[in-house]
């Protein structure tokens, strides 16, 4: 577990983040009538969902209006940040990587990050572009 908030990102040891070189963005095949489809970050090598977006309901409708300018990104000074009940995510770019941190309830003094990794920047943007072309 990491204890991180937006203003402490610069203090992280970014070399310690595991590299996910087979990063994929997937969307559930079936649509649930209440929540629609959902989006996940995935690693085939690990056979694991790395990050979920539990509050992005009906992502198939959301992404229709997205273009490359909507791809979640930011800097360590101003990361992409999203939160909802019991979940939050921070994404930022530094040099050749995108850093992704996911946790539960957000509060700077005791903000616990349970998932953190980095993705080659090229791969991250290629996956988003591929996904956006599907909608």
Instruction: Give the DSSP per-residue string, 1-15.
Output: -EE--GGGGGGS-GG
Instruction: Report how far residue 126's alpha carbon sits from residue 87's, in angstroms, rounded to the nearest whole number.
Output: 26
Number of H helices, E strands in the chain: 2, 8
Q: What is the mean pLDDT of residues 13-42?
A: 88
Q: How many separate domains does the chain show?
A: 1
Query: Which of these, 55, 58, 28, 41, lies nearest to 128 by C-alpha position?
Result: 41
Q: What is the mean pLDDT of residues 78-84?
A: 89
Give tens-digit pLDDT for 108-124. Answer: 666 778 899 999 999 99
Q: How confident is residue 7, by pLDDT bands cut at 50, 70 and 90?
A: low
Find the domain containing 41 and state its range.
2-133
Beta-bridged to residue 112, according to DSSP, are: 3
Tokens matching residue 115? 């998932």
Q: What is the pLDDT of residue 42?
A: 97
Q: What is the pLDDT of residue 108?
A: 60
């Amino acid at each position: 577990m990491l204890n991180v908030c937006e203003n402490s990102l610069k203090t992280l040891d970014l070399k310690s983040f595991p590299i996910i070189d087979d990063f994929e963005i997937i969307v559930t095949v079936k649509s649930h009538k209440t929540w629609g489809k959902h989006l996940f970050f995935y690693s085939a090598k690990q056979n694991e969902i790395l990050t979920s977006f539990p509050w992005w309901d009906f992502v198939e409708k959301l992404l229709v209006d997205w273009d490359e300018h909507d791809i979640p990104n930011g800097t360590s000074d101003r990361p992409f940040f999203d939160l909802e009940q019991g979940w939050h995510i921070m994404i930022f770019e530094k040099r050749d990587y995108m850093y992704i941190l996911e946790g539960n309830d957000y509060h700077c003094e005791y903000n616990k990050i349970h998932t953190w990794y980095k993705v080659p920047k090229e791969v991250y943007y290629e996956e988003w572009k591929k996904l956006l072309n599907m909608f």
